[in-house]
């Protein structure tokens, strides 16, 4: 096993184990999302959602829940000196980026595994659109993971960390949100899923993910220098 790959495995395992033992982020993200659904029920004054309202409600909630996780993804590294330790390790700097993005992807998938079915139970009249949503969820998670890792590492060393993460994240994810909400709106149509432009939006999503994965990987080493 190459040093990079073992470092990657070690970081991912460390983060997931820490999360499983402390449960610092995931329960908060789930709780936040479910509460937001309740607020949407009254804010929109609807007991059932479909089409673009369903897509918008679901993705707004997931985005803000992701923000909670993104805020904390580098917290341990900063407070416990993990950045210094990593700088001392003789591995490629990009490994930390890939590892953290993977961890964030797993967090988001875990949250969605709980939250999306709850959303369906609360609001959706037909569940047939949920399965085709999987590639959209995966693409959105990938984009949020790479962008979130980049932004979190930028913000974590500043004074206004938890303020900056949403401020930087929201404008940058607008194209991603356009793609996922447009694709989801058709899938969650009251009359059953509709695949109009589904492939096109997945392509936009893939393009977005690819560009930010490359940029994130390329610039990440400069964020670690000290």
Partner 1 sequence: MSGRGLKELSIATLVVLTIGYVLVFFWVPMDADQGFKQKIFYLHVPLAIVALLGFVAGGVEGYRHLRTDDRRHDANSYVFIHISVVFGVATLISGMLWAKASWGHFWVWDEPTLVSFLIVFLLYATYYPFRYAIEDRDRQARYASVFAVTAGAFVPLNFLAVRMAESLIHPRVFATSSGGLPGSMMLTFLVCIVGFGLLWATLVKLELLGKRTSGQLSRLRRTLQAEGYGEGGGSVSGRIAPNMESR
Nearest distance in Å: CB 145, partner 1: 15
Closest by CA position to 28, among listed 96, 114, 97, 153: 114
Per CB under 8 A, contacts with partner 1 among 89-148 are: none
Q: Which is nearer to partner 1, 6 or 158 (CB)?
A: 158
Nearest distance in Å: CB 160, partner 1: 4
DSSP 39: H
Cβ pair 139, 202 in contact under 8 A = yes
Residue 50's H or E segment, with its range, is none
Nearest distance in Å: CB 67, partner 1: 14
Cβ pair 69, 25 in contact under 8 A = yes
Q: Treating both helix axes as pointing N-terminal to C-terminal, what angle do 161-187 and 198-224 enclose, rounded to 10 degrees?
A: 160
* CA dihedral angle for residue 47, residue 48, residue 54, residue 58, rounded to 10 degrees: 50
Cβ pair 184, 59 in contact under 8 A = yes
Per CB under 8 A, contacts with partner 1 among 138-197 are: 150, 154-155, 157-160, 163-164, 167-168, 170-172, 174-175, 178-179, 182, 197
* The pair of three-digit structure tokens given for residue 17, joined into one six-digit string: 């184990």
Q: Which is nearer to partner 1, 30 or 181 (CB)?
A: 181
Nearest distance in Å: CB 197, partner 1: 6
Should residue 219 be labelled a site residue for partner 1 when binding is judged by CB under 8 A? yes
Q: Which is nearer to partner 1, 2 or 200 (CB)?
A: 200
Nearest distance in Å: CB 2, partner 1: 26
Query: Total residues contacting partner 1 (rule CB under 8 A)?
Result: 33
């Amino acid at each position: 096993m190459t040093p990079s790959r073992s470092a990657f495995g070690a970081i991912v395992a460390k983060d997931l184990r820490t999360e499983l033992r402390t449960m610092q982020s995931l329960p908060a993200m789930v709780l936040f999302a479910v509460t937001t659904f309740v607020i949407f029920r009254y804010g929109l004054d609807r007991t059932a959602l479909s089409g673009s309202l369903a897509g918008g409600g679901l993705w707004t909630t997931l985005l803000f829940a992701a923000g909670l996780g993104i805020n904390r993804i580098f917290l341990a590294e900063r407070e416990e000196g993990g950045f210094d330790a990593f700088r001392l390790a003789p591995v490629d700097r990009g490994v930390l980026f890939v590892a953290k993005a993977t961890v964030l992807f797993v967090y988001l998938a875990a949250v969605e595994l709980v939250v999306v079915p709850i959303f369906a139970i609360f609001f959706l009249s037909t569940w047939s659109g949920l399965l085709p949503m999987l590639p959209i969820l995966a693409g959105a998670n990938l984009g949020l993971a790479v962008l979130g890792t980049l932004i979190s590492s930028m913000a974590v060393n500043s004074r206004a960390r938890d303020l900056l993460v949403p401020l930087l994240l929201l404008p940058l994810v607008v194209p991603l949100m356009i793609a996922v909400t447009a694709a989801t709106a058709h899938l969650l149509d009251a009359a059953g899923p509709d695949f109009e432009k589904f492939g096109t939006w997945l392509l936009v999503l893939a393009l977005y993910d690819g560009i930010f994965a490359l940029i994130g990987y390329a610039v990440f080493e400069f964020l670690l220098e000290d």
